[in-house]
A and B are shown apart, each in its own frame.
Chain A
Amino acid sequence: MRESASVLRLHKDASFHEADALAEKNLLRDVRPHGKDAPSLNGQDIRLDRLSKSFGNRSVLSDLDLVIPAGQLLAIVGRSGCGKSTLLRLIAGLDRPTSGTIAIGGAEVQSLQPNVRLLFQDARLLPWHRVLSNVGIARTKGWQETAAAALADVGLDDRSNDWPAVLSGGQAQRVALARALVSRPGVLLLDEPFGALDALTRMEMHRLLERIWREHGFTTVLITHDVAEAVALADRVLVIRDGGITLDLPVDLPRPRREGADTAAVALQARILEEV
């Protein structure tokens, strides 16, 4: 607890810090249970059925079966080129599977879905739009208000009129997160979104993501090669190797989590590393 509080204190925005600490206090009493059976506020379940994807002769994913319950925070760990990014693109509807099906909230994924949002490794903000316009990129009715609210949610409401070029890497990723939250998605997909950030900013982003996930209750799939990050955030960790799932491990640690000296977490990390 002391350690995560010191991370939060690094944050310049005092009101954000207080709000976060407050949320943490309430959540410590565990308003809703954690773990894979967590009921969701508006999350949608994801079902993969005998999913395969190959590029030419090269098979990337083969016969994958997976059920992700609504509201779960799932981390997928694997070496680069193991097919984890491909899996995410398939769930997002950016690519079509070679065979098998994906269903989100019971409906089969045929193309891009409005209830699924994807956070990329780079923030991919439009440099010619100010921060607020970037968050409200879909320009739905009343987008200014919803975008401003989403920005406040990630603690960047004071930057709404800035150009993306002046933001730091962590701030840009927070804007990208706000952009994903605007439409209140049922599923949030994260493709190594914190990989390019420094260690302190990354921990800050972990706390932010955990808080927002608990508030919104969306189903989350996090792709990462950082085992510590997976254990720090996820309800459940999958290891993918050679196109198949080699480990499916529940992470039953209390939330909010602290990073570092936790023997249970370290044991889990060691277990995952064996499989990667």
Chain B
Amino acid sequence: MVGPSHLHGTGAAALRTLASWALPIVLLIAWEIASRSGVLSTRLLPAPSAVAAAFWESLRNGTLLTHATISTERALKGLFIGGGIGFVLGVLAGVSRPAEIVFDSSMQMLRNVPHLAIIPLVILWFGIGEEAKIFLVAIGTAFPLYLNTFHGIRTVDPKLIEMARVYGLGPVPLFWRVILPGAMPSILVGLRFSLGLMWLTLIVAETISASSGIGYMTMNAREFLQTDVVVLGIIVYALLGKLADFITRLLEARALAWHPTYRRTVTRGATS
């Protein structure tokens, strides 16, 4: 994929990667030393080696995978429902004035309600079952996608729409070939916001009421003062968040291949 002429660039990139990892590694070593020498109580913060051991143990007995799978499943269900509703409403409000009049002011009002504030209500409605968590994630993810889809569609270059009309495109091809691709950069920004809120909402929901999932795992560990498992749970959340971000980047590189900003990633992807 990378030709010999890029070797120099690859070397420099490797050095940059190494430099960016230096600080976390030094911190980690300092943390380990502080724990081992007793300066840092393991009740407050476990040694990195203890976290690694807890990671290995939970991986071996399968609890980590079970909890992570359940959490991911909840997160994705919530995202599909909430993000899907946000996207569809955003498209409707974007392409039709009557739909905008009906939805937009309500959506703008609702989005200002911190969705975590309705947790007491959600528990009353759904109890502590799966629905409660999925509902919360859906509420959290719907608004960023709605706003950015709506905004993206409204900011598509009107000159391109006029051109498409002159060249005989009907409403349906106009939407698929001009309006949706034109709104795509904005929609993907919305998706990234939604993914961030998706994990945040899920962590809170699982911490408050759950009998499975990463949030439950950490809260359970707290009861038994297993600080290593608590830290492990936090790390797993971070990794899941990072993974979601990575997938969006791949999606962007594919969907926005035409965009000058994304061109570099793209030409490599396309030629490989």
Which A positions have Cβ atoms within 8 angstroms of B? 92, 94, 112, 114, 117-118, 120, 122, 124, 126-130, 137-139, 163-165, 179, 183
Given contacts A120-B159, A137-B177, 17 further A-B contacts (CB under 8 A): A117-B166, A118-B166, A122-B159, A124-B159, A126-B178, A128-B184, A128-B256, A128-B259, A129-B177, A130-B258, A137-B169, A138-B168, A164-B258, A165-B260, A165-B263, A179-B167, A183-B168
Q: Which residue of chain A has its CB nearest to the CB of B162? A: A94
**Residue numbers in B under 8 Å from A118 (CB-CB):** 166
* Interchain nearest-CB distance for A88 vs B (Å): 11
Q: A126 with B181: in contact, given A112-B165, A118-B166, A138-B168 (CB under 8 Å)? A: yes
User: Across the interface, which residues of B come within 8 angstroms of A126, CB to CB?
Assistant: 160, 164, 177-178, 181
Can you report 14 residue pairs joining A to B where beta carbons are below 8 Å apart?
A: A112-B165, A112-B166, A118-B166, A120-B159, A124-B160, A124-B163, A126-B164, A126-B177, A126-B178, A128-B258, A129-B258, A137-B164, A163-B263, A179-B167
A118 to B182: give the CA distance in the assembly, Å: 22
- The CA-CA distance from A238 to B178 in the complex, in Å, is 36
Residues of A within 8 A of B167 (CB): 117, 137-138, 179
Number of A-B contacts (CB under 8 A): 53
Residues of B within 8 A of A179 (CB): 167
B184 surroundings in chain A (CB, below 8 A): 128
- Chain A binding site: helix, strand, loop or mixed by DSSP? loop
Within B149-195, the residues touching A (CB, 8 Å) are 159-160, 162-169, 173, 177-178, 181-182, 184
Interface centre among A120, A128, A179, A183 (most CB of B within 10 A): A128
**Are B168's CB and A120's CB within 8 A?**
no
A120 to B160 CA separation, bound complex (whole angstroms): 11
Which 4 A/B pairs are nearest by Cβ-Cβ distance?
A: A128-B181, A124-B163, A128-B258, A118-B166
A260–B181 Cα distance when bound, in Å, is: 45
Could you tell me the distance in whole angstroms from the C-beta of A151 to the nearest C-beta in chain B? 16
Chain B residues lying within 8 Å of A112, measured Cβ to Cβ, are 165-166, 168
Q: Which B residues are CB-close (under 8 A) to A117? A: 166-167
Tell me the smallest distance from the CB of B185 to a CB of chain A, in Å.
10
A138 x B258 contact (CB < 8 A): no
